[in-house]
Structure 1
Amino acid sequence: MEFSLDYREGRRVKLEVPAGQVILPAISAEPAEAGSSLTESISMPIGTAPLTSLAESAKSIVFIVEDHTRHSPVLETLDLLRKLFESRGISWDKVSLLIATGTHRQMKPEELQEKFGVFSSDTRIVQHKAEETAKMKDFGEFLEVPIQVNEAIEADLTVGIGSIVPHRFSGWSGGAKIVLPGVASYESVFKSHRMAILKSKADVGVFENEFRELIDETGSRVGLDFIINFYYDINGSTAGTVAGNHVLALRKGVELARKQLLRQYRERTDVTVISSFPSVTDFWQCGKALYTSDLITKDGGDIVMVSSLDEGFGDHPLFASLLKLEENEILEKLDMITTEDPLAYVAAYAVRKVLQKKKVHIVSDTKFAEEFDELGLRVNPDIQSVVDRLICPGKSVSVLQNSLVLPEITTEEV
């Protein structure tokens, strides 16, 4: 049986697996409903007035937008919004862009141009820096997590533009997640993620959890007036858009996204093959694929992760070295944190929990292969040879073409 997995934009890798060993997901009898277009969702938002009506009376407008590690159609959205504003006589001069880098590195000039096109030069842009505590505004505390957010968020109209996909720490992305962790202080990001792994029911695809409560509360406190969120089909194409109130619109978006991405399996498999696409920037980002494949892989089984890993371990060098430690060792250090990059401990703990139950095999052409090999995370150039080595007779295999897929184990006959 032949499979095709996403690798990079416009590039896929092929894989052959004996049909008798493949566990395929059940096909839902309920077809996913057609989604609203960007124009429709903005003009008929959920739980609030149309965006142009809100913008007419606003003297200042800030759009919080994703950075280079995310892939929503921001440029197309900004193009449409400017045209809508111009048609209503709303000046674009009062618009600024606040880039939700979270704790990621700053975007390079060429990345700004690629992501935002002409807006990179004719619209005021602020790149969030989580470490700049002097530029954060305090909005109190919730669930023992301080809510400190970039002061640039303050405007008469604040709009978040992002995506709704399954997520390990918040269950689903989208909504006010563009604010926390997107434009929050390092302390807020660290303590919220620490809470998510130690005290929350959060997991991939689990919407009701404490981290989501914190995110929604943050959106309300800072005055997130409107969201524009995209959701995707199983192939990574935009399936629809929701817009409006950051809580109500998100809930509708998650409902629609779940219908697109959910795949039910009758059992866990010995071997899971998954592509981390579209999260391919670095190992920090492609951890999404590990969390997803963990849901469907037997303990003691194998995960084959395909990822281009363009920037290796990324801009958290401590994260890589922590993966040498056992889960309990990381947790001990996490409880008495004094390090310069505590968030690296949280991410390493989450990844290590997977590595201690499953064996991970990386397939990539990354130039950072030696760094992974040093940690025992061997990088293989060819997916077929890896899978052929693992699937001895009697072993079952599942194949997830990208990390957007939401696998769910069910004992029901479907």
Structure 2
Amino acid sequence: MEQIKLKYKNSYDTINIPSKNLLGVLNAKNLPSVSDPEGEVRRALKNPIESKALGELAKGKHNIVILVSDITRPAPSYILLPPIIEELTESGINYDDITIVFGLGYHRKQTEEEMKKLVGRYIYDKIRCINHNIDDCVHIGTTSRGTPVDVFKPVAEADFIIATGNMEFHYKAGYSGGNKAVLPGVCSKRTIETNHIMMIRPGTMPGKCEGNPMREDIDEAGTIVGVNFMVNAVLNSHKEIIKVVAGHPIRAHREGTKYIDEMYKMRLDKKVDIVVASCGGYPKDINLYQSQKGLENASYAVKDGGSIVLLAECKEGFGEKLFEDWMMKAKNTHEPVKWIQEDFRLGAHKAAVICTVLERIKVYLVSAMSDEIVKGIFMHPVKSAQEGLDAALKKYGDNAQVLVIPYANSVLPYVED
């Protein structure tokens, strides 16, 4: 018998698994953080990937925009920005020629204090900082997949654009970072929704760029907008910088994905009957909207007709009103998938994503949500991971294979086709 502790809310839930059934425990392979984070940014700037040096490219420009992540992302902008601006000023660029734009996508505007925290007070006092305005966008083109590219006017008017951010898995666009600073970062509602509807197409999944229609559409939009250079930080699970990549907006991004894969992508020979997965405890399991990441990642290790035992407290319930409405009004798991194709709605899209998993996998949910609600959203309420595992083992028999993923929001199992 193997005893394993899994994070649940602010504590742990202990589970006992028969040794003969346990195939393995999947944990991230953290790479060590760099000793000098700003020095790592400077190293990346001096060694751009498939690009000329930033200072050389920007020389003579008079309207430079730097795209920066908002407060919902762990991007260490206050570390990335000083070396970038230093290289720009050394090439003759004035502070007045630079604007920092916070890419909000569909999120709320940043307060002045949040802006200062994100970029650092020194940068905030030197450089103009503004929020993206989703209602002040201009149309500049259309992607080959039909996405209208409407971009924030100050970005459209720039003569040089630098995309910054951090890299991690994205549940449908493959990875964050790169041209995602543009789409959804600084685009219109129409642009974001047209791109996001691609999440229900084949090939959209975490850990995949080529052959992923959503990511390819994002990169094409970035090319249309004219992103000239990118600087992205790769973080380990402690949110420490392990690598910075800079240069060509697509080629440098792909180089960064290799480090994400090394830490978080776990290759399996075959899918299993049962996965026991924790989202990682609070705050990663604060609501079902956030916990979807763990469910989605775990699903890639499970056979059709298999089961996931998911630990996600969800003390704040669903976490998004439209998502809740769609989950609660659906009469079966197929309806939200059908609705999203007919009328794409941000927020509600998570209902379609979860129901896509539920159409092929049984989910036992350990949470603070009522049994009635959990049953109403096509899952099976259990009081502990052990109760869920015992039920699943009873269903699949003595030879059922079990995988455990203690931090499912971060770790991506995959089986090569």
What TM-score comes out, normalization by structure 2 length? 0.79
The C-alpha deviation readout for 1:270-317, integer Å capped at 9, x for no partner, is: 133132688667543442222211101234444344557686544x42
> What secondary structure, in the 3-state scheme, does the structure 1 residue paired with 2:23 have?
coil
Q: Give the deviation of 1:407 after TM superposition.
A: 0.7
- Report the equivalent of 1:329: 335
CA distance in 2, matches of 1:4, 1:96: 48
CA distance in 1, matches of 2:33, 2:184: 31
Equivalent position to 2:154, from 152, 162, 167: 152
Q: Give the deviation of 1:322 after TM superposition.
A: 0.6
Q: Aligned AA for 1:136?
A: V
The C-alpha deviation readout for 1:248-269, integer Å capped at 9, x for no partner, is: 1112222332223221223324
- Report the equivalent of 2:207: 205
After the TM superposition, which of the residue ranges 233-242 and 153-162 deviates more from structure 2? 233-242
Q: Give the deviation of 1:143 after TM superposition.
A: 0.7
- Report the equivalent of 1:231: 234
> What secondary structure, in the 3-state scheme, does the structure 2 residue paired with 1:344 have?
coil
What TM-score comes out, normalization by structure 1 length? 0.80
The C-alpha deviation readout for 1:151-184, integer Å capped at 9, x for no partner, is: 2213222111122322232222221121112212
CA distance in 2, matches of 1:88, 1:105: 35
CA contact (8 A) 1:279 1:288 kept: no
Write out aligned runs for 1:298-337 (5 A).
Answer: 298-306=303-311, 313-314=318-319, 316-324=320-328, 325=330, 326-337=332-343
- Report the equivalent of 1:77: 80
CA distance in 2, matches of 1:24, 1:161: 37
- Report the equivalent of 1:138: 140
CA distance in 1, matches of 2:335, 2:129: 41
Q: 1:244 to 1:187 in 2, by over 3 A?
A: same
Write out aligned runs for 1:129-278 (5 A).
Answer: 129-130=133-134, 132=135, 134-154=136-156, 155-198=158-201, 200-208=202-210, 209-233=212-236, 237-266=240-269, 267-275=271-279
Q: Aligned AA for 2:107?
A: H
CA distance in 2, matches of 1:111, 1:382: 39
- Report the equivalent of 1:405: 411
The C-alpha deviation readout for 1:212-235, integer Å capped at 9, x for no partner, is: 221111111111011112224466
CA contact (8 A) 2:50 2:251 kept: yes
Q: Give the deviation of 1:246 after TM superposition.
A: 0.6
CA contact (8 A) 2:55 2:90 kept: no
Q: 1:268 to 1:384 in 2, by over 3 A?
A: closer
- How big is the alpha-carbon RMSD for the aligned residues of Structure 1 and Structure 2? 3.9
> Does residue 58 of the first structure (1) align with residue 61 of the second (2)?
yes
> What secondary structure, in the 3-state scheme, does the structure 2 residue paired with 1:180 have?
coil
- Report the equivalent of 2:132: 128
Q: Aligned AA for 2:293?
A: K
> What secondary structure, in the 3-state scheme, does the structure 2 residue paired with 1:320 have?
helix
After the TM superposition, which of the residue ranges 68-77 and 84-93 deviates more from structure 2? 84-93
The C-alpha deviation readout for 1:331-372, integer Å capped at 9, x for no partner, is: 4433443xxx7233433211211133334455567xx88996
> What secondary structure, in the 3-state scheme, does the structure 1 residue paired with 2:129 have?
strand
Tell me the percent identity: 25
CA contact (8 A) 2:272 2:306 kept: no
Q: Give the deviation of 1:245 after TM superposition.
A: 0.6
Q: Which ranges in structure 2 are unaligned for 5 or more consecutive residues?
A: none
Q: Give the deviation of 1:239 after TM superposition.
A: 2.6
CA contact (8 A) 2:137 2:187 kept: no
Q: 1:308 to 1:92 in 2, by over 3 A?
A: farther
Equivalent position to 2:102, from 79, 99, 102: 99
CA distance in 2, matches of 1:162, 1:262: 20
CA distance in 2, matches of 1:371, 1:391: 20
- Report the equivalent of 1:296: 301
Q: Aligned AA for 2:413?
A: P
After the TM superposition, which of the residue ranges 155-164 and 219-228 deviates more from structure 2? 155-164
The C-alpha deviation readout for 1:28-48, integer Å capped at 9, x for no partner, is: 9x9989999322111211121
The count of residues paired between Structure 1 and Structure 2 equals: 399
Q: Which ranges in structure 1 are unaligned for 5 or more consecutive residues?
A: none
